[in-house]
Amino acid sequence: MDGERRRRTIKRVLSGIELLAAVLVLAGCAQNPPNIYGVPGTSPSPAAPWKAPATAIMKPAAAKASPTLPQDILKSVKSLTLFNIVDIALRNNPDTAAAWEDARSAAAAYGSELGAYYPQIGATGDANWLQDYSQQVRTSFRERSYSAAVQLNWLLFDFGGREALVDESRLSLMAADWTHNAAIQTVMLNVETAYYNYVSSKALFEAQQATYRQAETNLDAARDRHHAGVATIADVLQAKTALAQAKLALDSLEGQIQTTRGALATAMGIPANAPYDIEIPRNAANIEETLEKVDTYLALAEEQRPDLAAARAQAAKAEAHVRRVRAEAYPSINGAASWGRTRYDNTDVTGSNYGGSIQVSVPIFTGLSQSYNVFQAQADEKAARARLSSLEQQVVLQVWTSYYNLKTAVQRVRTTEDLLESATESYDVALGRYRAGVGSILDLLSAQSALEGARAQRVQANADWYVSLAQLARDTGTLNISSTGPASGGPAK
């Protein structure tokens, strides 16, 4: 009997040695780095690019359906207004969608943390089967039992740690909501800027068409004078050159229209080749209103900037985190209770078991981890406060800059109005003098060039005014500066 046992023991030892040897062999065969789908996990050298296996190349996602637009907007898709465009952008832009989902995620996290105030209840159940043999009495027995239990655990007191944790999640939710609001305002600013760039391109194209027609008129006048023998062929050639230059500028603006149109479509969250168009607003920029003092807008930004509010919430969250980490150094009190029933098949006995306890947990020594956790939380809070201070300074600079940019834009609109009026009169006079034979072709072409530049500057000044107004609206944290105007409105009264 003892010899049989020794043989079994030796056999088990040998089997263990064989298993250990196999493990060592496999470890020696391990590759560094391991293969990915049959190819090396990294490139052979720093200078060589990694060649991915065909199975690892990410396939492009299936083409998405075009964004769903409201029926009332679809009816006027060829003549969208700025309000339609902003509506489309807020529905389809991925930036607002991502910020909204982040806020929803933070809301779910807040709801989860609120569960710390309630007891945690769970149920367990098991089935046991046991067969045993007693050598002393040379008998065996079998036993089957089934049990089920309900357990309750409840955190009763932890020196404010639970409250601080809930405050953290609440402030995270508020920061996410403010960030969503900031994303909406950023999208609106981007859409308005893209809109006025497109409007400006179309308006410049119309202005250049007028210049082209005037260049044709100039060429006809030069030809008439040449046929009458009162002008040389040089006048005709110069007029032809001016006409060709006007046509070249017209062709360039056609391409610019398409690029700005694609940029506006992208800002709306729809494909650049989507079939849509806009009409050029014919109402002039309302610049008769006067701006408030810059301090008024600074105070407005201090109160309404959503990114500033988000930064304040993040700083408050960091402060709550410090409180939570500090509370971990103090005792916590938990209540526990359980109740269950067990049934034994072989004896047909069923019994209940229950219990309750109050548990006090006191951290005594944590290897200095607690001290360093508090130090880290305090450093994070100071960093959040510093970022808040930096953002506050940036907000002041942004409002200051956009305010004076708008004031400059107002002056440019007024100046270009006078410039266009005088350039138009100058061209009319030069054309009349040339036709009457008392003016030169150079005077006429110079007047035409000045008028062309005045038209372009007028269009650009109007666009800059609207963009500057939208920028001030965004920098002050309000969607509307005033109720007037087709964009964010005119300057505030």
CB 471 within 8 A of CB 487: no
Which residues, including other chains, have CB under 8 Å from residue 448's CB and lie 6 or more apart? 211, 214, 215, 218, 242, 427, 430
User: How many residues are recorded in the chain?
Assistant: 493
Nearest to 199 by CA among 287, 85, 69: 85
Specify the residue for token string 């007029």. 239
For residue 397, the surrounding DSSP H or E stretch is helix 369-436
Tell me whether residue 14 is exposed, middle or buried, using C-beta atoms within 10 angstroms of its C-beta: 0 to 12, 13 to 18, 19 or more: exposed
Strands 35-36 and 39-40: antiparallel
CA max distance for the chain: 143
* Inter-helix orientation angle 94-114/82-92, to 10°: 50
- Residue 149 Rama label (left phi>0; alpha psi -120 to 50; beta): beta
d(CA 233, CA 183): 62
Q: Is the pTM of this model over 0.85?
A: no
Q: Read off φ and ψ for residue 223, nearest 5 degrees.
A: -65, -40
pLDDT in tens for each of the 493 residues of the chain?
A: 556 666 666 666 566 666 666 655 555 555 567 777 777 778 778 888 877 777 666 565 555 555 555 566 666 677 888 888 888 888 888 888 899 999 999 999 999 889 889 998 999 888 888 777 666 656 666 777 888 889 989 888 888 888 999 999 999 999 999 999 999 999 999 999 999 999 999 999 999 999 999 999 999 999 998 898 888 899 999 999 999 999 999 999 999 999 999 999 888 888 888 888 887 777 666 666 567 888 988 999 999 899 999 999 999 999 999 999 999 888 988 888 888 888 877 666 677 888 888 988 888 888 888 889 999 999 999 999 999 999 999 999 999 999 999 999 999 999 999 999 999 999 999 999 998 888 899 999 999 999 999 999 999 999 999 999 899 989 999 865 433 333 333 333 3
pLDDT given at position 485: 36
Task: For residue 82, give Cα distances in angstroms to 258, 387, 422.
Answer: 18, 35, 32
* Rounded-to-integer distance, Cα 202 and Cα 199, Å: 5
The pair of three-digit structure tokens given for residue 247, joined into one six-digit string: 């046509």
Residues 6+ apart with CB under 8 A from 377: 318, 321, 322, 324, 325, 326
Q: Which residues pair with 339 in a beta bridge?
A: 150, 354
Burial-class residue 216 by CB neighbours within 10 Å (0-12, 13-18, 19+).
Answer: middle
Residue 490: closest CA among 468, 461, 457, 460? 468
Distance CA 357, CA 360 (A): 10
H or E element, residue 351? strand 349-361
Phi, psi (rounded to 5 degrees) for 152: -130, 130
Query: Cβ(356)–Cβ(375) under 8 Å?
Result: no
Helix (H) or strand (E) holding 59: none
Q: 3-state DSSP helix/strand/coil percent for the chain, to nearest 5?
A: 65, 15, 25
Gyration radius (Cα) of the chain, Å: 39
Tokens of 428: 């009319």
121 three-class SS: strand
- pLDDT, position 491: 32
Q: Which token pair is 246?
A: 């006007």
Residue type, 368: L
Please report the pLDDT score of residue 47 as a whole number. Answer: 85
Burial bucket for residue 482 (CB in 10 Å: 0-12, 13-18, 19+)? middle
Which pLDDT score, from 0 to 100, does residue 142 have?
72
